[in-house]
Amino acid sequence: MKTLIIIPTLNEKDNIKKIFSKIKNLNSFLNILFVDDNSNDGTQEEILNLAKKKFVNYIFRKKRGIGSAHRDGIKWAIKKNFDFCVTIDADGAHNPSLILKMLKIIKKNPNNIHIVNTNRFLKKNSLYGWSFLRIAITTIRFFLVKIFLNTTLDSSGGLRLYNLKRIKKKYFNLPKNNEYFYLIESLYYYEKLGLKIIEIPIKLKIRDYGSSKMNFYHVINSLYLLLILSFKKII
């Protein structure tokens, strides 16, 4: 079964070689798609060098946000007839070895599992090395999503596996946000539509290089959008 790994990038030159190596060391059948938002630090040059290998692909776009990158990557995977796709952050916070675990879970029951998601709150001490402020923001956001959207899912994480053959294409058009809130919005829709979502625990480490692209605006805007989404009906 064909699997595509989607990696959104924005100025991640120092990280993409590392995550690329870790993914390719997992299994030779995995294909990679970089979705870059007009990086200006040499990231695109690194991607072009990696793309000399036939299993590496890329989309270079004007900056449109990480949510839009996920959406465009998934559409590309569907167009190219992949069976599964995995979205993973480029900063090295996610352990790529979880990809094989996720694939193993979904392949055991491919007709009934739609999404395998990762959850930072299934086990203690999952945010090792993080600052107190980042832990506080992440934890508060999780509980606000839980309360407003009536869900136990950790819906703001970027490491997910989608069973493309079992999810209706039109569902991927429902989430409209182009930024980080896309992650919350999309999983909310998929859960309400009755998709079977399995979660596995994940530990996140701090990034090795560069800085987070999430800022104070994203945090405040997400709170506003969360309130709006809680009143929205699913068609």
**Residues 7-38 pLDDT 10s:** 999 999 999 999 999 999 887 689 999 999 99
| pLDDT at site 37 | 96
Count of the separate structural domains present in the chain? 1
The pLDDT score that the predictor gives to residue 152 is 95
166 domain residue, yes or no: yes
pTM, to two decimals: 0.91
CATH, residue 41: 3.90.550.10
Please say whether the beta carbons of 181 and 225 come within 8 A.
yes
Cα–Cα distance between 159 and 89 in angstroms, integer? 7
- How high is the pLDDT of residue 29? 82
pLDDT attached to residue 124: 82
**Parent domain of 46:** 3-230
Could you tell me the two tokens for 145? 């999503």
pLDDT on residue 173: 94
In a domain, 235, yes or no: no
Q: Is residue 162 part of a domain?
A: yes
10-residue averages of pLDDT along the chain (235 residues): 95 92 86 96 96 94 94 98 96 91 93 96 83 87 93 95 97 94 96 96 73 64 85 72
Per the domain annotation, does 142 fall within a domain? yes
Residue 184 lies in a domain: yes
What pLDDT is stored for residue 44 in this prediction? 97
Specify the pLDDT at position 220: 78
Type and span of the H or E element at 162: strand 160-163
Q: Given this model, what pLDDT does residue 1 score?
A: 82
52 lies in some domain: yes
Query: What is the pLDDT, as a whole number, of residue 235?
Result: 57
Q: Which two tokens stand for residue 231?
A: 């009143």
Q: Answer yes or no: is 153 within a domain.
A: yes
Single-letter code of the amino acid located at 117:
N
Cα gap 18→94, rounded to integer Å: 12
Residue 203, domain member (yes or no): yes
What pLDDT does residue 21 have? 92
